């Protein structure tokens, strides 16, 4: 069995990262920080949640910036 087996959290993170990169490409920005929708973007919000979930394996509470 491969040492790099992706768990469900990493798989979700991979999908959300692809969505985020696709959005950035569509809006012709290399960073969300340069996007006018930065503070009101569900794609970015779900990506951030997927990052947190992949680190905590879904075992943590929510977090706020």
Using DSSP, how many helices (H) and how many strands (E) does the chain show? 2, 0
Evaluate whether residue 51 is within a structural domain.
yes
Residues 6+ apart with CB under 8 A from 44: 20, 23, 32, 38
Number of domains in the chain: 1
Residue 38 belongs to domain spanning = 31-57
Q: How many CB atoms lie within 10 A of CB 31?
A: 8
In a domain, 53, yes or no: yes
The answer to whether residue 52 is domain-embedded is yes
Domain contains 17 = no
User: 8 lies in a domain?
Assistant: no
Give pTM, 2 decimals.
0.75
* Residue 24: inside a domain: no
Contact 20, 44 (CB under 8 A): yes
Q: What is the pLDDT of residues 4-56, one digit of tens each?
A: 556 888 899 999 999 999 999 999 999 999 999 999 999 999 999 999 888 87
Q: Are 47 and 19 in contact (CB under 8 A)?
A: yes
């Amino acid at each position: 069995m491969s040492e790099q087996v992706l768990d469900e959290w990493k798989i979700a993170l991979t999908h959300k990262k692809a969505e985020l990169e696709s959005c950035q490409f569509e809006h012709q920005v290399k960073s969300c920080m340069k996007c006018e929708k930065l503070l009101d973007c569900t794609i970015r919000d779900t990506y951030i949640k997927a990052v947190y979930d992949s680190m905590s394996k879904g075992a943590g509470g929510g977090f706020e910036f």
